[in-house]
Amino acid sequence: MAEELARLSAHLDEITRLLKGRWRVGQATGFLIQELHREANTLGSKSSALELTNIAVEMKVAIEQMREQVQNLE
């Protein structure tokens, strides 16, 4: 799970960098959000603890909200 958490962190850092830039971020950010969703799914499926599964579900809800916001940027 540490590997997935590291990738999640890296994707979030890249999204932050893109959003601070002055160019169109829709496509690149959309791809990174897709990757965040994939990592959240992996974390949820690897988790044996109910609390971690619930956190993964909450992450996916937040990621979907991010996806909607990025679509508004385009």
pLDDT of 72 over the 70 cut: yes
35, burial (CB in 10 Å: exposed 0-12, middle 13-18, buried 19+): middle
pTM of the model: 0.74
Q: Which residue type, as a one-letter code, is found at position 62?
A: A
Q: What is the pLDDT of residues 32-62, one digit of tens each?
A: 899 999 999 998 888 888 898 899 999 999 9
pLDDT at 30: 82
Tokens, residue 47: 């988790």
Could you tell me if 35 and 42 are in contact, meaning their C-beta atoms sit under 8 angstroms apart?
no
pLDDT of 29 over the 90 cut: no
Could you tell me if 57 and 43 are in contact, meaning their C-beta atoms sit under 8 angstroms apart?
no
pLDDT at 37: 93
Average of per-residue pLDDT values in the chain: 85
